[in-house]
Amino acid sequence: MLSADLERYLHEHIPLSKAMQVSVRSIETDTVVLQAPLKPNINHRETVFGGSASALALLAGWSLLHLRLQRESLAGRLVIQRNSMQYLQPIRGDFTARATLEQPDAWPSFMRTLVRRGRARIAVGSSLEHSGEVVGTFTGEFVALRDQAS
């Protein structure tokens, strides 16, 4: 999937991403980077609203898994089960979220479990960055539920 395709998919299926003006900065096999501008995500202190920061980090993690499952030709639902967010400093401008698997070696086991049981869990981490600095970290556990047809 191309960056423009993922961006269109997010805007059509997750309306919050459109309201936040999320764009796809890059897609690689092991990493997805999303970006959002300050203006639609601003709070009363003229920094990024914490909910927007958390949402971008979660969207990046979800996107990474969505794309990896697509490459495996497995259709299904992908939901967040739990997450934690650390805000390291205020974000005073446009920001990105870079998502990677917490344990890349866990992917084959995750896939075997998903195929065999129709349900599997995996952890994704996202780092929030602004002006070249890490300004927040996110860890989320996602659950994939395989469609019966795949």
CA distance 49 to 125: 20
What pLDDT score was predicted for residue 37?
A: 98
Q: What is the pLDDT of residue 75?
A: 79
Q: Is the pLDDT of residue 150 over 90?
A: no
Q: How many Å apart are CA 45 and CA 24, to the nearest integer?
A: 26
Please state, in angstroms and rounded to a whole number, the distance separating the CA atoms of residues 70 and 81. Answer: 20
- Overall fold of domain 3-146: Thiol Ester Dehydrase; Chain A (3.10.129)
H-run or E-run covering 116: helix 107-117
pTM, to two decimals: 0.95
d(CA 98, CA 133): 12
- Give the distance between the most distant pair of CA atoms in the chain: 49
pLDDT at 55 over 90: yes
Whose structure tokens read 């992917």? 107
Per-residue pLDDT band for 1 (boundaries 50, 70, 90) equals low
Domain boundaries in the chain?
3-146
CA angle 106, 107, 110 (to 5 degrees): 85
